[in-house]
Amino acid sequence: MGIGREFVEKTKYHHLSPSDQTRGMPPPQVELGQKSGERLLALPDPTGVLASDVHALDAIERRVSVRRYSQKALSQEELSSLLWHTQGVKEIVQGYVTLRTVPSAGARHAFESYLLINHVAGLTPGLYRYLATKHGIIPTELGEESADLVTAACFGQDFVKASAVTFIWTAVVYRMTWRYGERGYRYLYLDAGHLCQNLYIAAESIGCGVCAIGAFSDDEMNRLLGLDGVEQFVIYLAAVGKKRDEGYK
């Protein structure tokens, strides 16, 4: 049996043991908190962006993967809107459940959003982490060399470096498996699709294009973000930038 088929087989319900939630274990935190010494940069009101008059169905019709971008920078208001529409926290319930702007199995929301910022007005290029509960970003590794490193880890896909910002989503595994056990791994990948589609649709309203990225070196991306690759690992990326006049080719 191949690895893919074994994954599907072993995560069927009849193979599962009781989850930690069922066993009465305490839930994990809803997000990775702000560490001592980390500086939080507050983002503007995400509802303040004057979006174009794009109907949701029109945005879905227009949706294509865009790999060529203009050099126009995103505003911080536009970045704020994209983050809100992909991971925004609307409510925290009982301290361990977040209701957000994107669907998630059991409202577990196992993802953390990291950002490679290249062209966002007023922000130094480099790597950042989004704190959804505070709607702010934390610089983690500043410097333009971060774009070269992330591009190389994406097997040289140059549009990563040309993007205004590339979203890097990581999965905090126990946040999902606490409730669902080994089957939770399935839901991580399903949730990644929900999240990225929100980004595609939200980007249309501000004249941006998106290209999702599934081809990357897992080990290299995890190393760049300081992740262990087991309890937390990079699951998906997506580059975003202002569209060129000539379209999406």
Q: Is 90 a member of any domain?
A: yes
Per-residue pLDDT of the chain (249 residues; tens, 9 = 90+): 899 999 999 999 999 999 999 999 999 999 999 999 999 999 999 987 755 566 777 777 778 889 999 999 999 999 999 999 999 999 999 888 999 999 999 999 999 999 999 999 999 999 999 999 999 999 999 999 999 999 999 999 999 999 999 999 999 999 999 999 999 999 999 999 999 999 999 999 899 999 999 999 999 999 999 999 999 999 999 999 999 875 444
Tell me the Cα Rg of the chain. 18
Q: Based on the number of CB atoms within 10 Å of its own CB, is 59 exposed (0-12), middle (13-18) or buried (19 or more)? A: middle
- Does the predicted TM-score (pTM) go above 0.85? yes
Whether the CB-CB separation of 11 and 183 falls below 8 Å is answered with: yes
Q: Is residue 213 part of a domain?
A: yes
175: CATH: 3.40.109.10
Dist. CA 11–CA 186, nearest whole Å: 8
Q: How far apart are CA 83 and CA 77, in angstroms?
A: 10
The residue segments making up the domain with residue 70 are 3-26+41-242
pLDDT value at position 60? 78
C-alpha atoms less than 13 angstroms from C-alpha of 218 in its C-beta half-sphere: 7
How many folded domains does the chain comprise?
Answer: 1
pLDDT at 247: 44
Distance CA 97, CA 134 (A): 15
Please indicate, yes or no, if residue 171 is contained in any of the structural domains.
yes
- Kindly state whether residue 36 falls inside one of the protein's structural domains: no
Q: What is the pLDDT of residue 248?
A: 42
Question: Is the residue at 35 inside a domain?
Answer: no
The reported pLDDT for the residue numbered 95 is 86
Per the CB < 8 A criterion, the answer to whether 240 and 209 are in contact is yes
Task: Assess if residue 46 is contained within a domain.
Answer: yes
- CA–CA separation, 209 and 134 (whole Å): 26
In a domain, 95, yes or no: yes
Whether residue 31 is contained in a domain is answered as no
Q: Return the pLDDT at 50.
A: 56
Give the whole-angstrom CA distance, residue 216 versus residue 167.
13
Q: What is the pLDDT of residue 51?
A: 53
Q: Is 132:34 a contact under the CB 8 Å cutoff?
A: no
